Amino acid sequence: MLFIIRLLWLVLEAASAHLQNGLAYPVLLLAGLIGWRRWSPLWLLPLVGAEAFYAADMFAKAGGAGKLPGAMSNVFFQLFVFAFLALLGLVIGRALRPKRI
């Protein structure tokens, strides 16, 4: 249980780092559009994969104290982070969709 909490906390920290450097905004906006148009969530897979590989390559030489700089260069960790951001955008897009009467 503690491992899950630590992993979720690390994913939230990485997502906030991506919000600061701008990598999270395309995923959030396109996932929001997919949710708003009620398209299939499978359209998120190439988006998440491309952003995760780009972010892992961008942070490949990152260093510093703590677990976050080391985790930012891991592709599988970045897949978790961008999947979280994509699901967040999808939920927000579906919530903002106007209801039919």
Tens-digit pLDDT string for the chain (101 aa): 898 998 899 899 999 999 999 999 999 999 999 999 999 999 999 999 999 999 888 888 776 666 677 678 788 989 999 999 999 999 999 999 888 76
- pLDDT, tens digit, 9 for 90 and up, residues 54-66: 988 888 877 666 6
Sequence-ordered list of residues with C-beta below 8 angstroms from that of 33, at least 6 positions apart, any chain = 93
Q: What is the pTM assigned to this prediction?
A: 0.87
Environment class of 9 (CB within 10 Å of its CB; exposed 0-12, middle 13-18, buried 19+): exposed
Closest CA to 44 of 36, 34, 59: 34
